């Protein structure tokens, strides 16, 4: 089954803010709602200013981006999502130099982003072999 095609403009509109990107990540991580990664309790609350969930049982805080390729990155999530779109939309992929010019980061940053995303894609693909 093929996913519906999306234009770059639609991607930019859908993921125009950091909050929209965080909501998309949280929706993928916890489709039925928050679940603590430490104790597996299904109730917690969001600290919106810090972008963290706190478990109601063990009181541990979990970042929305922890355990993802976005964790610890200083690059805005909107640029990460645009990079994901550009990787998936082009049949031959995208070079680090071209990505750096499109999203407005240094070449070295674009190289690191591409390397980590490609590693995550390869890891996911190895699960289906």
d(CA 7, CA 97): 22
Single pTM value for the model: 0.84
Q: How far apart are CA 36 and CA 66, in angstroms?
A: 12
Q: Residue 124 pLDDT > 80, yes or no? A: no
- Which tokens hold the place of 84? 């994901």
The answer on pLDDT for 128 being more than 90 is: no
- Quick one: pLDDT at residue 129? 63
Residues 6+ apart with CB under 8 A from 49: none
Q: 68-97: per-residue pLDDT in tens?
A: 999 989 999 999 999 999 998 877 889 999
Three-class SS of residue 100? helix
Percent of the chain whose pLDDT exceeds 90: 57
């Amino acid at each position: 089954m093929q996913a519906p095609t999306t234009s770059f403009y639609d991607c930019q509109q859908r993921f125009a803010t950091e909050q929209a990107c965080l909501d998309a990540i949280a929706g993928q991580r916890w489709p039925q709602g928050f679940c603590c990664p430490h104790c597996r309790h299904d109730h917690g609350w969001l600290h919106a200013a810090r972008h963290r969930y706190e478990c109601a049982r063990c009181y541990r805080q979990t970042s929305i981006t922890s355990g993802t390729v976005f964790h610890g990155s200083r690059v805005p999530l909107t640029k990460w999502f645009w990079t994901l779109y550009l990787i998936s939309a082009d049949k031959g992929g995208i070079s680090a130099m071209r990505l750096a010019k499109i999203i407005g980061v240094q070449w070295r940053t674009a190289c690191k982003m591409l390397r980590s995303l490609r590693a995550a894609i390869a890891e996911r693909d190895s699960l289906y072999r």
